[in-house]
């Protein structure tokens, strides 16, 4: 008795296409886009003198490949956490807290769109048939 598996090549090509759709650069781009509401909220909470602090708040790819919202201005951490002589006026923490519930769904939606848009070679199913009966 012999077995024949149909559709394996197509299935492997489809899996490769999905893998490319959710590659690290693609996921990073989706992560950066998903964090935009956090950036906007943090910028709206930033104290503004000349706008340097506010304008330095951005979503970025971090050294480890993850994404996050950062303050590039050197004095950002003083405002976020305060000092011995200055009360904290946090921006990132409240912005994150205001958006955290929506972030995972928004990110998942972006990934779902990428996967659904991935090119498909065939929508046929993988099948197992016995031969020789």
In-domain check, residue 99: yes
In-domain check, residue 10: no
Residue 108, beta-bridge partner list? none
Q: Which residues contact 104 (CB under 8 A, 6 or more apart)?
A: none
In-domain check, residue 131: no
Give the pLDDT confidence of 70-105 residue by residue, as tens digits: 999 999 999 999 999 999 999 999 999 999 999 999
pLDDT for residue 36: 98
Q: How many structural domains compose the chain?
A: 1
In-domain check, residue 53: yes
In-domain check, residue 33: yes
37 touches 26 (CB < 8 A): no
**Which domain covers residue 119, as residue numbers?**
24-125
Q: Which residues contact 122 (CB under 8 A, 6 or more apart)?
A: 7, 10, 14
Give the pLDDT confidence of 24-81 residue by residue, as tens digits: 999 999 999 999 999 999 999 999 988 999 999 999 999 999 999 999 999 999 999 9
In-domain check, residue 101: yes
How is 77-88 classified by DSSP, letter by letter? HHHHH-BTTB--
**Assigned token pair, 98:** 């205001």
pTM value is: 0.77
In-domain check, residue 16: no
From the centroid of its chain, how far is CA 119?
21
């Amino acid at each position: 008795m012999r077995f024949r598996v149909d559709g394996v090549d197509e299935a492997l090509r489809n899996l490769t296409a999905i893998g490319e759709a959710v590659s690290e650069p693609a996921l990073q781009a989706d992560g950066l886009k998903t964090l935009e509401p956090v950036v906007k909220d943090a910028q709206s909470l930033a104290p503004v003198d000349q706008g340097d602090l506010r304008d330095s708040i951005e979503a970025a790819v971090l050294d480890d490949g993850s994404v996050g919202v950062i303050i590039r201005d050197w004095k950002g951490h003083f405002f976020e956490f305060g000092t011995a002589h200055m009360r904290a006026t946090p921006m990132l923490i409240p912005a994150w807290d205001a958006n955290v519930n929506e972030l995972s769904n928004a990110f998942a939606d972006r990934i779902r769109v990428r996967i659904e848009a991935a090119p498909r070679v065939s929508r046929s199913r993988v099948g197992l048939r016995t031969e020789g009966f």
